[in-house]
Structure 1
Amino acid sequence: MMLHAVARAGLRRRLVAGLAVGLVIAGVAVVGTTTVRVGAAIQRIERVPDAFPAESTRPAPHPVGTVAPRNYLLLGSDSRGTGGSLLTSLGDRADAILLVHVPADRRSVQIISIMRDSWVDIPGYGMAKINAALSYGGVPLMVQVVESLIGQRIDDVAIVDFAGFAALTDAVGGVTVQNEVAFSVGDVRFAQGPVTLTGADALPYVRERYAFADGDYQRVRNQQAYLRGLLVAMLQPTTLANPWAVAGLVDAMSPYLAATDGLTAPAAVQLAAELAAAGTPEVATFTLPTAGTATIGDQSVVLLDAADLAVVQAALQQDSMTGFVPPAER
C-alpha cells in the first residue's frame, strides 16, 4: 500500500512538473512568436539617428536590471509628402509635442501635451518657443529642452505621421472619444459627448483648430481625447497578450512611424507583457501647466506655470504618477 502511495505521489509530481515545463515552453513559444511577428513590423519603421543630446547634459539613467518608469517623446507631423521621410517632413517644427509616461508599476499611462508655443529656455539660444528647438538643433535639442522641463530622461523618441491615426483607428475597430465641444469639419459633424471615430474621422478630429475660440488649446484637448480612447482600446489585456493583435497594431502603424533604435521587438514585447500583467492600465491625459498667453516682441506665446510645473516634476521624480491629479488648467 505504501509503495503504491509513493508511486502515485511520484506520478503526480512528474505530471505537475511536466505541466509546468509545458507551460514554460508554451510561454516561451508565445513570446518568441510575438517577438518575431512584432520584429518583422518594426523592421519597416524609419529610424531616427543621433536623437539624443550629449550625455553630460542629461538626467541620469535608471539602474540597469530594474523595472523603471519609461518616458517616450512623441513628435507629431502633419506635413509628410507621399513616400517621404518622416524625419525630413518634421523639419523645423512639430505639429504636436507629447510625453508618454509609463510608471514603474505599469498600472497607468500618462500622456502629457506640451503646447507648441510654450516659452522656454533653449540651451545656447535663450528664451524662445519650444518648437524653435527643432530648427536650432533638431531632435537632440528638442530632447534636451523637454528633459530640462520634466527633470526626467527620455528613453525613446518617435515621430508620428498624423495620417497613421486613420490606420490605427481602423485596426482597433474604432476609437471612442469624449468630445468636449461640438464642431464640424466640412461635412463631418462631431457632436458633444461620446463619439466613436472611424479611420476617416480620426484625422479631421485631431487636426482641426480653427473651429474653436481657443484654437490650439482645444485641438490639444481633442488630440488627448483621441489618444486616450486609442490607448484604452490598445491596452486591453486580451490585446496585449495576443501576439497577432500586438503585431497587427505595430504593422498598421509602421508606415507612419519613425523611432530611435531603442524601440525594438523585444523591448515592445516586454513592455506589453508588463502592462498586461498589471491589468488594464488607467490612461490619463493632461497639458503641461500653463499660465496663459502673452505677446513677446511680435510673437504670441504660451507661458508655463512654474509652480504647477514643479508639482508635475515632483510626481515624475517620485514615480507617483499613477492616480496623479494634475493641476487645473488656466
Structure 2
Amino acid sequence: MGISPEPAAAAGSAAAPGGMNRRRTIAIAVIAGLVVLAVVVAAFLLNRPRTETAAPVETSAPAPETTPPVTPEPTPTPTPDPPPTALNILLIGSDSRVNDRAVAASGGTSDQRGDALVFVHLPADRQSVYGISLMRDLWVDIPGYGGGKVNAGLELGGVPLMTQTVEALLGQHIDHTVMADFQGFAAMTDALGGVDVDIKRPFQGTIDDFVNFPPGVNRLNGSQALAFVRERKAFADGDYQRVRNQQTFIKALMAKMAAEGGLSDRNTVKQLVATVLPHVTVDPGLTVETLERLAFSLRSTAPGSGVFFTLPTAGVGTTTSGQSVIWQNPAATAAVSAALSSGTLADYVAANGLQNGN
C-alpha cells in the first residue's frame, strides 16, 4: 500500500522552535546506530583480502632418492577461539555534530542529549538479539549528579557518563557504546531501495511533508521513513508510540537486509558505509578484531530473530521542580536486570508477551 503525501503547510505559517525541531529529529538517530555494527562488519568481511589457491603444476616424475627423506615437523594444532560470551552494546541517538561527538566521546559537557537510547543484548548462544528501548524522559539516578532524566547523562558527562547511567539503571556492564546522528538515515534507506513497513497504527503526520501513513504494508523511502520514526504528536501516548514505531522500522530494515542480501553486495555495503560511518562514534574497544569476532559469533543467528521492547515504566508525572518525566517501575526494571544477569531474558520476554515488541 502506498504513501499519500498531504499538502505542505501554507506559506508564512510559524516555524517550530529550533529546540522542538531538534527534539523531533534526534530520536531517529539510533536506528543508524543499530545497523552500523552490521554495516561495519559487512564492510570488513567483504573487503578483506581473498587468499587464492593456485592450481597444481604438473611436473615430471621425481628422481630416485639417494638420501633418507626428512620427516616434517608436525603442524601445531591451532588454538580455537574461545566461545562467545554475552555482550551488551549501548546505542545512543544524538543531534551531535562531528566536533560535538568528539567532545562527548572524551567525557566533556556539551549541548546535546541522548534522546534515543537502546540497550542491545547479545546472549552467549547468539540465538537472538534483544533491543531494550529506554524512554528519554525516564527519571533515574545519574552518577555524581543525583536525580535527572536519563538522556541528560550525555549532556553532563558525555559518552562515559551516559554509559555509566544506563549501567546503573540496569545493573549491567556495557561492553561497547555506539553514538550516531541522524543525517545519514534517509540516504541509507534510499540506498536499500526503500523499506517495507507493516503499519498497525495508521496516522497523519504533523511535521515536514505531513505524510499520511495508511494501515498495511507501506514502502517507505528515506524522507518518509524519517517522518515515520520522528512522529509523536499524532499519538495520544506520544513518545511511547514513537518508540514502538522506531522498533517496527528497525525490524523491517533488518528483515530486508537479511531477506534480500542487503549486506552481501559489495556496492551496497560501500554505499551504506559511506553514508553511515561519518555520522558514528564508537568506543576505542570496538576494533577491527573485535568486529571480526562479533561477525563470526553471529554466523548462526537466524534472520528475523531480533526482539525489541521498551523498558516498562510507571507512567508520566511531574517532579517537585516542575519537570515532566516518566517514572521508573522498580519491580519491572529489577526483573529485566535479573533476567539479563541470569541469561534468561528469553523467558522474561515470553512470560510478558513481548515477542512482538510491546
Query: TM-score normalized by structure 2?
Result: 0.67
Q: Is the 8 A contact 1:241 1:273 kept in 2?
A: no
Task: Look up the equivalent residue of 2:204 and give its one-letter code.
Answer: S
Deviates more, 1:263-272 or 1:121-130: 263-272
Residues 1:69 and 2:94 aligned together = no
Cα deviation for residue 328 of structure 1 reads 6.7
Tell me which of 302, 314, 328 is aligned to 1:291: 314
Q: Is the 8 A contact 2:42 2:269 kept in 1?
A: no
Which structure dedicates a bigger proportion of its chain to helix?
A: 1
| 1:177-221 alpha-carbon deviations (Å, 9 max, x no partner) | 232322233342112233222112121111121222121111111
Task: Look up the equivalent residue of 1:289 and give its one-letter code.
Answer: P
Cα deviation for residue 276 of structure 1 reads 2.9
Distance 2:267 2:274 in 1: 10
Distance 1:248 1:270 in 2: 23
Tell me which of 325, 342, 345 is aligned to 1:321: 345
Q: Is the 8 A contact 1:93 1:132 kept in 2?
A: yes
Deviates more, 1:309-318 or 1:162-171: 162-171
Residues 1:139 and 2:149 aligned together = no
The 5 A counterparts of 1:146-295 are 146-185=166-205, 186-236=209-259, 238=261, 246=269, 248-295=271-318
Distance 1:132 1:279, change over 3 A: closer
Extract unaligned runs of 5+ from structure 1.
Answer: 1-30, 40-63
Distance 1:281 1:212, change over 3 A: closer
Distance 1:243 1:229, change over 3 A: same
Task: Look up the equivalent residue of 2:90 and give its one-letter code.
Answer: L
SS at match of 1:219: helix
Deviates more, 1:317-326 or 1:253-262: 317-326
Deviates more, 1:315-324 or 1:245-254: 245-254
2:47 equivalent in structure 1? 37
Distance 1:264 1:117 in 2: 32
Deviates more, 1:317-326 or 1:108-117: 317-326
Q: Is the 8 A contact 1:177 1:229 kept in 2?
A: yes
Q: Is the 8 A contact 1:183 1:191 kept in 2?
A: yes
Distance 1:80 1:143, change over 3 A: closer
SS at match of 1:211: coil
Cα deviation for residue 80 of structure 1 reads 4.6
The 5 A counterparts of 1:10-89 are 34-35=44-45, 37=47, 65-77=82-94, 79-80=95-96, 85-87=100-102
Cα deviation for residue 237 of structure 1 reads 9.2
Distance 1:32 1:179 in 2: 29
The 5 A counterparts of 1:90-169 are 91-169=111-189
Distance 1:284 1:162, change over 3 A: same
SS at match of 1:136: helix
> Share of identical aligned residues, percent?
43
1:15 equivalent in structure 2? none
Distance 2:43 2:200 in 1: 41
Task: Look up the equivalent residue of 1:320 and give its one-letter code.
Answer: T
Structure of greater Rg: 2
Distance 1:233 1:164, change over 3 A: same
Distance 1:86 1:118 in 2: 23
Distance 1:190 1:32, change over 3 A: closer
Distance 1:171 1:322 in 2: 33
Distance 1:292 1:215 in 2: 12
